[in-house]
Amino acid sequence: MEKLLSEDKFNAVADSDKMFIITFDSEIEKFGYSCGGIIGKGGKWWQDISIKWAKVGIKTERLIARIYQRDNKLILRLYFNKIDKHRDYIENAPTHIKEIFTGSHGNCGFDKCPCKTNKLNCKFRKSYTLDGKAIHKCNGITFEVLHPDISKLPDYIDLLSKFYARKNEPSQNKHYRKLDKTP
């Protein structure tokens, strides 16, 4: 990943963002997910880069995360299902993790949906309950971390481990909490 990001075409990506991507890539591969060494071009919702991590060795692409750039800011998008199953963990998580699920970003107000130009996204809305409050998020822009901080990477990895722990591993894998935070 480091070699890929050193190419001239990625000069617009800040060094701190490159370090986040390199470290995230290294850690996420421990889950059995990979980007396959591919950094895609920008698209409708992002610019410059698009990196997606999918399960290795299966036919159907199962995304765990995507990193892209929008308005020259790095965005980490995480993919989650069955949020209610992880309610206890989320309700007791650090504020920056809980905010991914409870913040206003991506809120779907049905008739005031942020993806109102494409109502089709809403058929896949994420609905769950946290702290006794029903929450509805638009699947098109949900679970995004705007400008992720490398110092919080251990918490992002810990969150992913709760949702994507391998069946033969405990979901509270302490290895992920010991991630070295230094670049």
Q: What is the pLDDT of residues 71-106, one digit of tens each?
A: 778 999 999 989 999 999 999 999 999 999 998 887
> What is the tens place of the pLDDT at every residue in 96-135?
999 999 988 877 765 555 555 555 545 567 889 999 999 8
The total number of residues shown for the chain amounts to 183
Q: How confident is the model at residue 21 (pLDDT cuts 50, 70, 90)?
A: very high
45 close to 68: Cβ distance less than 8 angstroms: yes
Instruction: State the average pLDDT over residues 55-60.
Output: 80
Q: What angle do CA 33, 34, 38 make, to 5 degrees?
A: 160
Of the candidates 3, 13, 9, 20, the one whose C-alpha atom is nearest the C-alpha of residue 181 is 20
51 close to 67: Cβ distance less than 8 angstroms: yes
